[in-house]
Amino acid sequence: MKLQRKNRLRATALGALAVSGALVLTACGSDDNTGADANGGTKTSAAASNIKCDGAEGQLRASGSSAQKNAMDLWVKNYMAACSGVEVNYNSSSSGEGIVAFNQGTVGFAGSDSALKPEEVAESKKICKTGQGINLPMVGGPIAIGFHLEGVDKLTLDAPTLAKIFDTKIKKWNDPAIAKLNDGVKLPDKAIQPFHRSEDSGTTQNLGKYLNAAAASDWKYEAEKKWPAPGGQAASGSSGVATQVKQVDGSIGYFELSYAASQDITTVDINTGGAAPVEATSENASKAIAAAKVKGTGKDLALDLDYTTKAEGAYPLVLVTYEVVCDTGNKAETLGTVKSFLTYAASEDGQKVLSEAGYAPIPAEINAKVRETVAALS
């Protein structure tokens, strides 16, 4: 079982690396991304033929969510390989920092794992001038609960137990609540070391939303970007939390599946109350995200996720990362590149990259609305 799970995670990581490597090779080619065909003519690379660079020029700066870093890295490499002379620089910081940068007007768009709050929308009107900031769902995926416990290679937890672990109410791995969910698993008498994000994080907020919905009696904190509970240890970014879990025996933490895959970290199966515990996979996350409803108004496409789903094979602990842009009033010098880049990200090819990198594509019906909105940005 451990070998099968490790192989799945490794395959995800290798798939992402293979795509990344291919994109790097493409980027290292000639500026026009063409070469000689068998007849002595020229041929256009797949990246160049499928990505429309119309209106794109100069440098585009963006920042925010670290949850989408691995997806954004692939998008940027592919896009820059196709669009000669255009530079896209995405600073993977945190959702909170991305929104601040957007509302200060220092980036063309921001990445956030949580939709804009009303006060953030109000603030955005100072930058968007004739419009306001809107949420465009671009990346979906599971929030994996990764753990490192020597001698244990498979673990099932439910929302109430997770709430008590991250609230440091359950302190030992052989606690009866954990043992009840893991019949036949030899759990050690070892202290649990939970890790959480040190900075404002949309991943933290989405974990809070899940625990609020699925373990309301055990998780009494508001779902905010700042970690709310006492105890535990903090690390910077999803990569930082994953690194600590990888290194520390007895640890547990939360991060996007791609980080578990790249560091070969074993993940928790979640008991939703359904027929069987559900593994954190892109496919299982897609089943949960497919049931999402648009709750935003006008051009805003913020989603309402069902964290309490018991549908067979649906992994409930999911997040959606939004690219935050102005609906109107975008800066003229970056508008063309923003539209061109986000058009690629929302395209069939752009969304396919997500699956290869351990993320979940946005459901087709919602993604069609995203493409329509991107096309109308002004």
Q: What span, in angstroms and rounded, lies between the C-alpha atoms of 3 and 221?
A: 37
Question: Is the pTM above the cut of 0.85?
Answer: no
Q: What is the mean pLDDT of the chain?
A: 88
How do residues 200-218 score in pLDDT, each as one tens digit? 888 999 999 999 999 999 9
Q: What span, in angstroms and rounded, lies between the C-alpha atoms of 365 and 351?
A: 13
Q: What is the pLDDT of residue 207?
A: 97
Q: What is the pLDDT of residue 299?
A: 96
Q: What is the pLDDT of residue 5?
A: 54
List the single range of 14-18, 106-110, 143-147 with lowest mean pLDDT: 14-18
CB 108 within 8 Å of CB 337:
yes
Nearest to 378 by CA among 113, 102, 105, 134: 134
Q: What is the pLDDT of residue 1?
A: 46
The most confident of 255-259, 335-339, 349-353, by mean pLDDT: 335-339
pLDDT at 38 over 60: no
What distances in angstroms separate CA 39 from CA 43, 46, 82, one per listed residue?
Answer: 10, 19, 23
CB 166 within 8 Å of CB 363:
no
Amino acid at 337: T
pLDDT at 189 over 80: yes
Average pLDDT over residues 98-118: 96
- Measure CA of the first residue to CA of the last residue in the chain; give whole Å: 52
Confidence of residue 50 (pLDDT cuts 50, 70, 90): confident
Q: What span, in angstroms and rounded, lies between the C-alpha atoms of 318 and 140?
A: 7
Average pLDDT over residues 54-83: 95
Q: What span, in angstroms and rounded, lies between the C-alpha atoms of 150 and 129?
A: 56
pLDDT at 35 over 60: no
Q: What span, in angstroms and rounded, lies between the C-alpha atoms of 336 and 359?
A: 27
Average pLDDT over residues 133-159: 97
Confidence of residue 11 (pLDDT cuts 50, 70, 90): very low
Q: What is the pLDDT of residue 100?
A: 96
Q: What is the pLDDT of residue 49?
A: 53
Q: Encoding tokens for residue 284?
A: 């299982």
